[in-house]
Amino acid sequence: MNAMNGSILILLVLFLVIIAPGKSRDNKKRRWGRNTGKWILVTYCGVMLASVVVLYLIPDQGFLYPAKEVPYQVKEVPYQIGDQEYSNENIKSIEIIESIDIDIFQAIQENKLDQKSGIYLQEEKSFAFSEEELGLTFNEYLPVIVKRKAQNDGQIDTAYYTTKSYIRGFDLSDRIKPPTIELIGEKLYVTSQLTEIKIAEVEDDPIVNQFLGQNSWEDKWNIVTNWGERALYLEIPRDVQIKEGPYELRYITE
């Protein structure tokens, strides 16, 4: 909701609910019983107070917290709206200055795909394949790493590797859907799926923030993201060739 919509909404609700009914209902004969108004208010306040008890019964489990360690460093930069820069020292805005890149190809080449490498297997599939040539089709760019097997076992093994993705410091890698991999005829179709992630954030109570918060205001509209690396790894029978196409192929050498 933008500021203008918020203002209009508030003024409209205020007019319709508080001003427009006027004073008639308060002084003329009441539609409800004498004490109904009182009990509605008491119940309302009671429910509000009871909500506090319920909040304190909620266990602090499963909530999203920023990762303790992230593979990048950030620095404060001037606050910007669009292309315009604002020199307001009270507004903090950050951007990534240095990130640690993990090379999936190198890790496979050196056979270092363990937990410490920071590379995760998200999906693997095998397909029986008896053709001589394999075609690849992607709906978006994806690097492909290919290893030719020592024998013709009539099987294509596929694996989808990723490194961790961080969005505003939250490790949301597990939520990113791997592509669907299908073999139809002599073509391998790799189709990325749309991942929609919606998370909610409760902002500080502005009044509490007035007394306990910091003077600076964090620019939360600028979401710092560090998308992980990803690659499709194929192990193909010794004599199978991969058709040339608009994709990047890197072969593992023995």
Partner 1 sequence: MSLTETDFITLIKNQFIYKLKAHIGLLNRLAVAQLVILLLTFGRTGMSGSGGDSIDFEIQRYANYLFLIISMMGVTIIGVMLSNETFRNTDFTFVSNRLSSNLSNIVFLLTVSVVAGMTASLYGVVIRLLLYFTQGSENIIGENFFLAPKELLLGIFGAILYMILFSAIGYFLGTLTKSSRSRFLLPVLVTLFLVTLVSLFIMIPNGSQTTIFSALYQFFAHEKNLFIFMVKILVIGGLLFLGSILVSNRREVRQ
Binding to partner 1 (CB under 8 A) within 139-198 occurs at 140, 167-168, 170, 172, 176-177, 192-198
The DSSP result for 9-63, as a single string, is HHHHHIIIIIITTTTHHHHS--SS-TTHHHHHHHHHHHHHHHHHHHHHHS---S-
Residue closer to partner 1 by CB (options 55, 150) is: 55
Q: Any contact of residue 87 with partner 1 (CB under 8 A)?
A: no
What SS3 state is found at 7?
helix
Q: How far is the CB of 59 from partner 1 (least distance, A)?
A: 8
Of the candidate spans 42-50, 124-132, 145-153, 154-162, the one that interacts with partner 1 by CB under 8 A turns out to be 42-50
Binds partner 1 (CB under 8 A): choice among 23, 68, 75, 116: 23
Binds partner 1 (CB under 8 A): choice among 29, 33, 54, 101: 54
Site for partner 1 in 103-142 (CB under 8 A): 140
Q: Any contact of residue 201 with partner 1 (CB under 8 A)?
A: yes
Q: How far is the CB of 32 from partner 1 (least distance, A)?
A: 10
Q: What span, in angstroms and rounded, lies between the C-alpha atoms of 241 and 141?
A: 21
Of the candidate spans 101-109, 153-161, 207-215, 233-241, the one that interacts with partner 1 by CB under 8 A turns out to be 207-215
Q: In what order do the strands lie in the sheet with 144-148?
A: 119-128, 155-163, 230-236, 144-148, 249-251
Q: Any contact of residue 247 with partner 1 (CB under 8 A)?
A: no
Sign for the CA dihedral angle at 126, 103, 139, 173 comes to positive
Sign for the CA dihedral angle at 68, 63, 57, 41 comes to positive
